[in-house]
Structure 1
């Protein structure tokens, strides 16, 4: 019994060591301005959001309600090289995301609508065939890549449709 407990403790320690060694994305990536390689933060150093456990008997009335992201989906977002590429390609995108993240409630929702170009005046602009701004296109590109990371290759799920 003691040998089993020791073996289990060693197995847990090895798993924790492997988890500490896992890097966000690839182990290294070239910087946008230089050819040098910089190491990325370990996944264990990130502040992960609370992920509720799935219920053994889900409520049938909540079947069609929006679902919380699961840990594997957060990991897919954190390790996506495409997301990292988009964030490095559009310099003002991190600042835009930070400013939206600081808002709460209806102000946040309105800011997201405006940033994505889906407010009524923007939709009227589409009818007049005006081109969306670079920020709107960058945010949409990021949203599509995040959606693809969350889906994990499941093309049968409903997705974003910009109506263009």
Structure 2
């Protein structure tokens, strides 16, 4: 299977499971079981490691700035395939803040790749692609090596 298809599938799995987990409103033991199931499913689908612990993966690229907020889900399918981070923020415009930080770090919007993600804005610095998407206080970062 082509690498892009594997990435796209992994991102879709992570995003849908993250949304289901965040919207479920689970608490206590039930939430722990749901989170463990999400982690296992994503790990199986991506071959990578996912954490619902609120921390970035150890190999997440330092050149990609992340806004302040509570990390709800973070995972990667090894550094060659990419990472997904979903966070919530109390900022007035979290997605706007994320865009400003990414641009401030030297990434530029890449309109030639805009059709690759109808649900987000694509940025690149030549080394990585960053797709930013968000709604309300939630921002999703999808980061992959640039083609």
TM-score (norm 1): 0.24
Which has more radius of gyration? Answer: 1
TM-score (norm 2): 0.25
Higher helix share: 1
Higher strand share: 2
